[in-house]
Structures are given as structure tokens and as C-alpha cells.
Amino acid sequence: MIRFSIYRFNPDKDSKPYMQDYQLDESRLEGRKMLLDAILLLKEQDESLSFRRSCREGVCGSDAMNINGSNGLACITPLSSLKQPINLNPLPGMPVIRDLIVDMESFYRQYRTIKPWLMNDEPEPEIERLQSDEERKKLDGLYECILCGCCSTACPSFWWNPGKYLGPAALLQSYRFLVDSRDKATNERLDELEDPFRLFRCHSIMNCVEVCPRDLNPALAIHNIRKMLLKRAT
């Protein structure tokens, strides 16, 4: 038997949240290994248990949750790596809608704030904008972000400065455009970031790096943005 303790809250009927214990017969997994496989089976036992999920392979970012105290994607977290009872909580610091489902709007708003689109007002060539292999490689480790929210919701600065500090995910995306050789809005982007809260509330706590399910490094991106600002100032 695999044992779970799962955060439950249904605003239709619960006045406050509580933890509920579940047990799963391992044989029902039929060899499947991931946490998502297990909680899908728990949902068959109790269809009221609610969580988001879609791709079940770590590319869509739906099933981010707090797993034994650490944020991650259920679909790529092996059950074998988890101590029992497996404690599942919604992503920290976010308003809970129901059970493991949180309201992500504040996270998405910060993403929109950094203007996450390529800006280039030069006339468009008939062919692709040329970019060397070297320039393109600078986007590796940045463009792969799936907006799951694991990093930002693991970041104390993001919790303590709601709406003000952009958080690791948005800053990683900001840097993705700052270093794109095709983007021509570098100064404008840096202007927007030069603010006591938006960027500088990062205290290098590094939780973001630890939890990123895609092995990206938002802390390094933030460090690099600071360097760009410094370089611009001198």
C-alpha cells in the first residue's frame, strides 16, 4: 500500500481546508511509476479529488503541486523517490480554488508584465531573420520554460512582495528576450526592470533552481540581467 496525505478544500462544502489520508494498492499501478499515475487512480476511488493534468509527460506544466514539501510536476516525479506518507499540497502562496488547484492569475500577470514577445521594429526581411548558431544557443535553458509556476511559488520573495516582485519565471522569460539577438527592445526592457522590487527583490535563495522540473536556472538569468543593468550604467 502506498500512503498519501492530501490537502482537501471544496468551497462548496468545506469551511476550512483539511488533510485527507488515502491508500493505494501498488498493483493497481500495473508498472506505472509516476506520482500522477497514482493520483489518477486515487481519483477513480474518490472522484471529488481535484487537480489539473494534461500531457502526463512533463511538457504542459499543468500538474505542478507541492510534493513532500517541494514543488514539482506530478507526472515526472517517480513514486520511488518519495517518502511515505506522500504529502500533497497546492502550490504555496497562491489562493486555493479547490484541493490541489490554485488560482495562477498573479503568476500569469507577472509573465504578461515583462512583455513576453519578440520586439523588433526593423522591416521584416523576406527570409528568416538570420541568427548564428552561437546566438541561438543563448536561448537554450530559457525558451523551454513551461509556465508551471513551480519556481515562483517556491520563492519567498515572490510570496512577500505580491504583485511587485516579478518572480523567477517572469524574469527568466524577460532574459530570454533580452538575449535574443533578434529582439531590439533591450533598453526598454531593462528600463522596466530597473525598480527596487521587480528584479532586485531576488535574494539568491535559489529555491527556483532547485525545483525547476525542466532543470532551468532562473537565478542565473536574474544574475545576468543584473550584470546587463550594471554594464549599462557604467
Partner 1 sequence: MKNNIERRRFDCLVIGAGGAGLRAALQLVQADLHVAVVSKVFPTRSHTVAAQGGMNAALGNLTPDNWHWHMYDTVKGGDFLGDQDAIEYMCRAASRLVIELEHFGVPFTRLENGRIYQRPFGGQSQNYGGEQAARTCAAADRTGHAILQSLYQQNLRSRTHFFDEYFATDLLVSEEGVTQGVMVIDIESGQPLIIEAKTILLATGGSARIFRTSTNAMINTGDGMAMALRAGLPIQDMEFVQFHPTGIAGLGMLISEATRGEGGYLINKDGERFMERYAPHALDLASRDVVSRAIATEIREGRGCGENADYVLLQLHHLDPDIVKSRLPGIRGMSIRFTGIDPVDAPIPVFPTAHYTMGGIPTNRKGQVVVPLHHAPEEPQQGLYAIGECACVSVHGANRLGGNSLLDIVVFGRAAGNHIIDFLADNRFHTPLSEASIEQAMDHIQRWDKKGEGESVADITKQMRVMMEQYCGVFRTQDVLDEGVEKGRELLARLADVRLGDQSKVFNTARIEAFELENQLEVAMATLLSAAARTESRGAHSRLDFPDRDDREWMKHTLYYNRDGGVLDYKPVRTQPLTVDSFPPVERVY
- Quick check: 59 binds partner 1 (CB under 8 A)? yes
| Interactions with partner 1, residue window 167-226 (CB under 8 A) | 177, 180, 182-183
Q: How many positions of this chain bind partner 1 (CB under 8 A)?
A: 58
Q: Give the residue, chosen from 16, 27, 47, 233, that forms a contact with partner 1 under the rule CB under 8 A.
A: 47
- Quick check: 117 binds partner 1 (CB under 8 A)? yes
- Quick check: 57 binds partner 1 (CB under 8 A)? yes
Close Cβ partners of 89 (under 8 Å, ≥ 6 residues apart): 7, 65, 66, 100
x/- binding map, residues 66-105, to partner 1, per CB under 8 A?
Answer: ----------x--------------------xxx-x--x-
10 Å Cβ neighbour count for 82? 19
Closest CA to 2 of 88, 65, 70, 69: 88
Retrieve residue 134's grid coordinates: 552561437
Closest CA to 109 of 184, 198, 191: 198
Close Cβ partners of 123 (under 8 Å, ≥ 6 residues apart): none
- Go through 51-67 and write b for each residue having 16 or more CB atoms within 10 A of its CB, e for each that does not: bbbeebebbbbbbbbbb
Q: Give the residue, chosen from 2, 8, 42, 56, that forms a contact with partner 1 under the rule CB under 8 A.
A: 56
**Which residue number, 59 or 205, has a Cβ lying nearer to partner 1?**
59
- The pairing of beta strand 70-73 with beta strand 64-67: antiparallel
- Quick check: 118 binds partner 1 (CB under 8 A)? yes
- Quick check: 24 binds partner 1 (CB under 8 A)? no
Q: Give the residue, chosen from 28, 53, 164, 226, that forms a contact with partner 1 under the rule CB under 8 A.
A: 53
Q: Could you list the residues that contact partner 1 (CB under 8 A)?
A: 10-13, 31-33, 43-44, 47-48, 50-62, 76, 97-99, 101, 104, 108, 112, 115-118, 120, 124, 126-133, 135-136, 139-140, 143-144, 146-147, 177, 180, 182-183
